[in-house]
Structure 1
Amino acid sequence: MASPTLRLGSIVPDFEADTTEGRIRFHDWIGSSWVMFFSHPGDFTPVCTTELADISHRAPQFLARNVKVIGISADALQEHYEWIEDIIEIGNKTAPTCVEYPIIADPDRSIAKMYEMLDEQDPSNVSEDGEMNTIRTVFFIDPKKTIRAMLNYPASVGRDFDEVLRVFDSLQAADKHPVSTPANWKKGDDVIIQPFVSNEEAKKLFPGYKTFNSYLRTTPLPSS
């Protein structure tokens, strides 16, 4: 198998595609937003249905972070429209559900191949035509169209969207301040001051920061 070509810091490949919200050119669609670009193995599949319903329920959380959501599946557009009816029906059992984000139609898997989303290890994750389906990939993309983080789950594992939101919070915090986030960090917890920040500078940026040793200093995240 060829070595991956998409890495952290790569500019995401541009493409044109039909989606449930109309035809898009990906870079234009991103605009000045962050993006969660995620794949699912197939329409009318149980795990994927729960995921897309959950994302619908979280729409205000993504909006508050200036994150656009876009999905992709190796199925045709009409199947997406029919599947959305199921997503809404299942999602409405727990919270009001409306799939207001686009789902890309990729029946020839050209975009999935471009983004290296195909399964290479699960012989059961195949379509009726015998082609490999996509795994559960998540690309975290910033407004500069740069890949900032990636997650890959097998088809059998539903994603944790609390973790996805946590990663966006961490990335956005680090873009705004010279900080990183510790293990199990959640928004509102203390952050770590980057080692390149001198103690004098830290006093100005983060008054009252705590020092644990020569390289570990923590502080509440500034509100502005």
Structure 2
Amino acid sequence: MLPMVKSPEKPPFPIIDKNWDLAILLGMLDPAEKNEKGVPVTARMVVSVFSPDKKLKFSILYPATTGRNFDDILRVVISLQLTAEKRVATPVDQKNGDYVMVLSTIPEEEDKRLLTKGVFTKELPSDKKYLHYTPQS
């Protein structure tokens, strides 16, 4: 974590994009927030996650006025890695190690073969058995 910086001091990290060339190229400007000259300011943080095959899997831009949530970014990265390896989906607010959902496109007999830690079906009032869970492994 970077130390707190008082305004007149030089920041404790290098400024590599003094003219905002990189920020403009990567779409890191916040069009809703402008400086005193009416120029958009840089976003607080832009995160883009690409898969090994160079496909964009996740992108988020935090506006200049909004704080960042590193826990959720980490949750998304873990989910992307897990779901690339296994045929599962992660529910909202899933924590590392929680149960994950088995994709509904996988036949039940294949569930048991692929997911060796067991598959559990959630009982629903309709008696339909399409919500399947398995321990994250």
* TM-score tier after normalising by the smaller chain length: 0.7 to 0.9
Q: Does 1:181 align with 2:96?
A: no
Equivalent of residue 108 in structure 1, options 11, 14, 19: 19
Residue 32 of structure 2 contacts residue 40 of structure 2 at CA under 8 Å; is this kept in 1?
A: no
Q: Indicate the residue corresponding to 1:214 in structure 2.
A: 129
Q: Shift in Å at residue 130 of structure 1?
A: 5.3
Q: TM-score, normalised by structure 1?
A: 0.49
Which residue is equivalent to 1:163? Answer: 72
How much does 1:129 deviate? 6.4
Shift of 1:160: 1.2
Residue of structure 2 in register with 1:134 after alignment: 42
Higher helix share: 1
TM-score normalised to structure 2 length = 0.77
- The one of 77, 83, 89 equivalent to 2:11 is 83
- Mean CA deviation greater in 132-141 or 164-173: 132-141
Counterpart of 1:132 in structure 2: which amino acid? P
**Equivalents in 1 of 2:104, 2:71: separation in Å?**
28
Query: Helix, strand or coil for the counterpart of 1:107?
Result: coil
Which of 1 and 2 has greater Rg? 2
The equivalent residue for 1:53 is 2
Q: Which runs of 5+ in 2 are unaligned?
A: 4-9, 123-127
Structure with higher RCO (Cα < 8 A, 6+ apart)? 1
1:195 matched to 2:95? The reply is no
List 4+ stretches of structure 1 deviating above 4 A.
Answer: none
1:118 maps to 2:33: no
Where 1:121 maps in the other structure, the secondary structure is strand
Number of residue-to-residue matches in the alignment: 124
Provide the aligned C-alpha RMSD in A.
Answer: 2.3
Report the Cα distance in structure 2 between the residues aligned to 1:130 and 1:107, rounded to whole angstroms: 18
Percent identical pairs in the alignment equals 34
Aligned with 2:113 (options 184, 204, 207): 204
